[in-house]
Amino acid sequence: MNDALRLAADDAASGRTFGFLVQDVARLLKRHFERRARQNGLPLTRRQATVIIYISRHEGVSQAEVAAWLNIEPIALVRLLDKLCEEGLVERRAHPTDRRVRTLWLTDAAQPVLERILEINQVVRGEAFVGLPDTARDALVEALVLVRDNLASVVADDPAASELPADA
């Protein structure tokens, strides 16, 4: 086995591959967010919090757009939205020109919840970046933005790429 293959195999065995690390960091961020939320009396999952943040930045967004952005089936989003509506945080409204479309809006009750979500996010980010200089943190974020944009452009340039299963 050549040196490059041996190093790649060693990295894979130790969990140091790029894909594994990105997925593991995402998993740990989710776990830490949910732990902090529970500690602060905020009974939300990370996905619910993500939906609240997304709606706050895109008031009036359609359910279909949120499902596509989260890369989940619309029925899974409906269940998640049902819960947020029951909690009085999200309101569904009919689209003004297309009665098939439901738009999403935060309620007044969601504003303090949104503030708490953002505070918890800040704490979790602080925990994640302990010991990492600001310049390294900024470089890491910029590198991930570039990787995301590179991968998104592949899908944009190749319509067949968007037809692959989500976990491919």
Torsion of CA 133, 134, 139, 144, to 10 degrees: 100
The answer to whether residue 108 is domain-embedded is yes
The answer to whether residue 30 is domain-embedded is no
Q: Looking at residue 23, what is its pLDDT?
A: 93
What average pLDDT does range 18-23 have in this prediction? 92
The answer to whether residue 34 is domain-embedded is no
User: Do 136 and 117 sit in the same domain of this protein?
Assistant: no
Residue 128 to residue 26: CA distance in whole angstroms: 11
Confidence of residue 98 (pLDDT cuts 50, 70, 90): confident
Lowest pLDDT segment from 17-21, 109-113, 152-156: 152-156
Tally of domains in the chain: 2
Q: Which of 36, 51, 48 is nearest to 120 (CA)?
A: 36
Residue 51 to residue 104: CA distance in whole angstroms: 10
User: Do 83 and 139 sit in the same domain of this protein?
Assistant: no
Q: Is the pLDDT of residue 97 over 80?
A: yes
The answer to whether residue 33 is domain-embedded is no
The answer to whether residue 115 is domain-embedded is yes
In DSSP terms, which residues pair with 102 in a beta bridge? 94
Confidence of residue 101 (pLDDT cuts 50, 70, 90): confident
Q: Which of 109, 115, 59, 116 is nearest to 84 (CA)?
A: 109
In DSSP terms, which residues pair with 90 in a beta bridge? 106
Say which CATH number the domain at 80 has: 1.10.10.10
User: Do 106 and 94 sit in the same domain of this protein?
Assistant: yes
Residue 41, sorted as left (phi over 0), alpha (psi -120 to 50) or beta, turns out to be: left
H/E stretch holding 62 reads strand 61-62
Q: Please give the residue range of the domain that contains residue 55.
A: 41-128
